[in-house]
Structure 1
């Protein structure tokens, strides 16, 4: 075939090798042993190489029943955390010849509107955040391999594996840091979302603080928006009784709202109020003072999720163990002034 002509086809390879198209399909699909001779297989491979032939992978995968495509279901990309999860998952997927389709829940948090309706036959597996878990009801009858992120390992129906960050340890590190500074009156600014990962944060914080005599903790719930967090924190801090000296926020965006609430009430961070977050987003170092928070490696999270799904697809046991997290102490926490 002349250079610069149309892309070579399997028929061109068959003609060049002097064999049938069926033989080309067997050889290039690595199913030739016992069906064509070694000499024929070598002739087909040489003809394909000389012609620069590349098989139509999309058509081949459909015939095989595998499209090497994974769906990643996450809340809407309102923070860079889930963008990092996608980046990590896509990097590992690419190394293994897979593609990742991203499906953010249209509402931001909660159920996505059946992302599988037009894609059931085109997916090999699903990785899903527990914050968008309601979307998964649409595929429970399809038996697609499923890996859940940030999800209860003992309570994820249909999941072949779960991959978690060690959120509980992160909360313990935060609590111990604040207790070590001398704080005993706490306000927990909790994400107003029914999700396992936020249940863990509340439970671990309450458990750790209860172990130290003389501590008290109040809870205020807020949507994960800066304005929502500001309103909830302002109402809680201005309420009756002794004011908390430490505010523990479920994520960095909630902490940013808490900063605004403190300023409106004439409180200084950290002189009058220590504030902590959880995520270590870029926002954490944009705040003044910079935010004490727990660093979650979003890209590693995505990588581990994809590795787990690959293991499931290959019939292997995924690696166990939660992903370690790290407390990052910055200027938003200090010894209480009263």
Structure 2
């Protein structure tokens, strides 16, 4: 087995102490080593193929440079790919790695995923959902930093990053109004989740601003699936005065 370069090897090659190598490679050398010395250390590390021992570092600091991402259906939702990439890109900017687990909505797998991440001493956990809804974060996840993404912690124990559903519903309806439509239907998703409530509010606001009366017959419930889109459209087109445009709550509904 080839000899794996150590920090001692880098220090010898750059003619500095191991302490200098440590502060340079950690990026905290400002005021403690010159830029010339820092570059010499970086060049030596590159030439030798030196890689930091992250396991040893985690034992020293009590944490790894890993951020966990746990989601219910993050691997199967078309939208979630962008969410994961955004998290990964931002983590990488801070020299962190993203560890992602898709639980498929399985509570046991979710608990196991959180425990595994905690055993790896992750820097924090992003708790995500396929669609904006209220969730109950596993208690174990609160043993580290945790942020909800596209979800709200029902008990308010963690901060959340969520979309502006009202504005989204408003702008979608506004686009149809600007195209000349006045009979605009909405096929919503689960009626009590934040995404459904907010988008319906935005839809109603846009119609009100346009001076159009609400027609309850044009708003249909759904479950976010292809089938609910098919069923709702069949009902809408059977109305005496059917809509000329439809705002759908999800991509899958729109495909239906």
**TM-score, normalization by structure 1:** 0.56
In the superposition, relative to structure 1, how do residues 214 and 10 fare at CA in structure 2: closer, same or farther (>3 Å)? Answer: closer
Please give the residue correspondences for 1:128-147 in structure 2 after superposition, counting only pairs within 5 Å: 128-130=127-129, 131=131, 134=135, 136-139=137-140, 141-142=142-143, 144-147=144-147
Task: Tell me what 1:203 maps to.
Answer: 201
For 1:164 and 1:138, locate their aligned partners in 2 and report how far apart those are by CA, in whole Å. 21
Q: Which has the higher helix share?
A: 2
Q: How many residue pairs are counted as aligned between the two chains?
A: 237
The structure 1 residue matched to 2:103, chosen from 102, 105, 126, is 105
Higher relative contact order (CA 8 A, sep 6+): 1
Q: Is the 8 A contact 2:189 2:196 kept in 1?
A: yes
Task: Tell me what 1:299 maps to.
Answer: none
Task: Tell me what 1:30 maps to.
Answer: 23
Structure 1: gaps of 5 or more residues? 18-22, 32-37, 258-338
Please give the residue correspondences for 1:1-338 in structure 2 after superposition, counting only pairs within 5 Å: 5-9=2-6, 24=18, 26-30=19-23, 49=45, 53-76=50-73, 77-107=75-105, 113-114=110-111, 115-121=113-119, 122-130=121-129, 131=131, 134=135, 136-139=137-140, 141-142=142-143, 144-151=144-151, 157-160=156-159, 162-192=160-190, 194-211=192-209, 212-217=211-216, 218-238=218-238, 241-257=240-256
**1:34-67 deviation line (CA, Å, top 9, x unaligned):** xxxx9xxx8xx69x75865433123212321121
How far did residue 187 of structure 1 move? 2.4
For 2:95 and 2:51, locate their aligned partners in 1 and report how far apart those are by CA, in whole Å. 15
How far did residue 70 of structure 1 move? 1.2
For 1:193 and 1:103, locate their aligned partners in 2 and report how far apart those are by CA, in whole Å. 28
For 1:206 and 1:236, locate their aligned partners in 2 and report how far apart those are by CA, in whole Å. 18
For 1:58 and 1:254, locate their aligned partners in 2 and report how far apart those are by CA, in whole Å. 46
Structure 2: gaps of 5 or more residues? 25-32
